[in-house]
């Protein structure tokens, strides 16, 4: 993993989206980012679905994470998820995170499986229930927000396409002044495959 002994690796567990879905989301972000507002938009390579943020983890423990995750996900089927609709956490009136929703069976159950496996390794449980979503941006202030909200709300029911989720990836996250850089460390395959989008 190219790291010195004792160095902690900031990492998280996520699922990736299909290339056409990421392309549609990148195009959407390019459009809404034209509105001048105090929102830090996610870069294209950051468009994934986080299942569990691990924080700084020692390399040896990260190997444990990989082995435990592989055992926990063994035999779980691939999933079909659709990226559709926009929202804001905690609300449009007090936005902090802007997101695209995900529809499809099995993702919350898989997230619960990952959470249980990581809690067994001593990671802190999440403080809130898992809500399947893709983060688009983080609102740093209300400057220009009314214009951004107006633009975003014309896309409330947009459909960005279907992804077949065939694996779960453990990512390394390196924080830089211009945004985080994500590097996949391992991808753990799910069980039986599914046919393409319908």
Domains and CATH numbers, the chain: 9-189 (3.90.1140.10)
For residue 90, cis peptide bond before it (omega within 30 degrees of 0): yes
In the chain the first and final C-alpha atoms are separated, in Å, by 38
Map residue 60 onto helix, strand or coil.
Answer: helix
pLDDT confidence of residue 189: 93
pLDDT confidence of residue 170: 97
Q: Using CA atoms, how far apart are residues 134 and 31, in angstroms rounded to an integer?
A: 17
Q: Using CA atoms, how far apart are residues 64 and 186, in angstroms rounded to an integer?
A: 12
Q: Using CA atoms, how far apart are residues 3 and 40, in angstroms rounded to an integer?
A: 29
pLDDT confidence of residue 6: 60
In the predicted model, residues of the chain with pLDDT beneath 70 are 1-6, 192-198
Structure tokens at 88: 């804001």
Q: Are strands 159-165 and 79-90 parallel, antiparallel or unpaired?
A: antiparallel
- Tens of pLDDT along 152-162? 999 999 999 99
Sole residue written with tokens 């995170």 = 97
- Phi then psi dihedrals of residue 114, to 5 deg: -65, -45
Residue-wise burial string across 54-93, b where 16 or more C-beta atoms lie within 10 A, e elsewhere: beebebeebeebeeebeebbeebebbbbbbbbbbbbeeee
pLDDT confidence of residue 176: 82
């Amino acid at each position: 993993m190219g790291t010195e002994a004792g160095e902690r690796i900031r990492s998280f567990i996520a699922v990736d989206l299909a290339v056409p879905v990421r392309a549609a989301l990148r195009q959407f972000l390019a459009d809404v980012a034209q509105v001048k507002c105090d929102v830090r938009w996610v870069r294209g390579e950051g468009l994934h679905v986080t299942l569990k943020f691990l924080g700084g983890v020692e390399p040896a423990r990260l190997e444990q994470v990989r082995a435990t995750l592989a055992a926990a996900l063994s035999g779980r089927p691939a999933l079909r998820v659709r990226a559709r609709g926009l929202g804001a956490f905690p609300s449009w009136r007090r936005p902090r995170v802007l997101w695209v929703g995900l529809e499809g069976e099995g993702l919350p159950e898989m997230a619960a499986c990952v959470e249980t496996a990581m809690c067994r390794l001593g990671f802190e449980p999440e403080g809130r229930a898992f809500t399947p979503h893709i983060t688009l941006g983080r609102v740093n202030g209300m400057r220009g927000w009314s214009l951004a909200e107006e633009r975003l709300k014309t896309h409330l029911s947009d459909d960005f396409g279907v992804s077949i989720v065939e694996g779960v990836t453990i990512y390394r996250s390196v924080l830089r002044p211009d945004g985080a850089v994500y590097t996949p460390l391992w991808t753990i395959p799910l069980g039986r495959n599914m046919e393409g989008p319908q």
